[in-house]
């Protein structure tokens, strides 16, 4: 058998493939995305502070 298990007795699936190439981050939690959200949050805070001074 290609998976190394008996076709009659089988066994449980060994789980996800091993290795770092299978540890893909889809984009939301990459370092660049986190930095971008932090910068945007700081910009929004500054805008709200400025708008508060105007009123």
Per-residue model confidence as pLDDT tens digits over 19-42:
888 887 788 888 999 999 999 999
Write the CA distances from 28 to 3, 15, 24, 31, integer angstroms. Answer: 33, 24, 11, 9
What is the average pLDDT across 38-49?
A: 97
Residue range of the domain that includes 41: 27-54
Q: Give me the number of domains the chain comprises.
A: 1
- What predicted TM-score, i.e. pTM, was given to this entire model? 0.54
The answer to whether residues 1 and 7 touch, using CB atoms and an 8 Å cutoff, is yes
Q: Is residue 7 part of a domain?
A: no
The answer to whether residue 53 scores a pLDDT higher than 80 is yes
**Predicted local distance difference test score (pLDDT) of residue 26:** 82
Q: Count CA within 13 A, CB hemisphere, residue 4.
A: 3
Largest CA-CA distance found in the chain, in angstroms, rounded: 76
Q: Is residue 16 part of a domain?
A: no
Q: Is residue 9 part of a domain?
A: no
The answer to whether residues 30 and 36 touch, using CB atoms and an 8 Å cutoff, is no
């Amino acid at each position: 058998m290609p998976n190394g298990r008996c076709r009659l007795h089988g066994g449980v699936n060994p789980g996800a493939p091993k290795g770092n190439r299978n540890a893909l981050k889809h984009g939301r939690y990459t370092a660049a995305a986190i930095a971008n959200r932090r910068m945007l949050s700081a910009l929004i805070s500054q805008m709200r502070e400025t708008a508060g001074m105007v009123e």
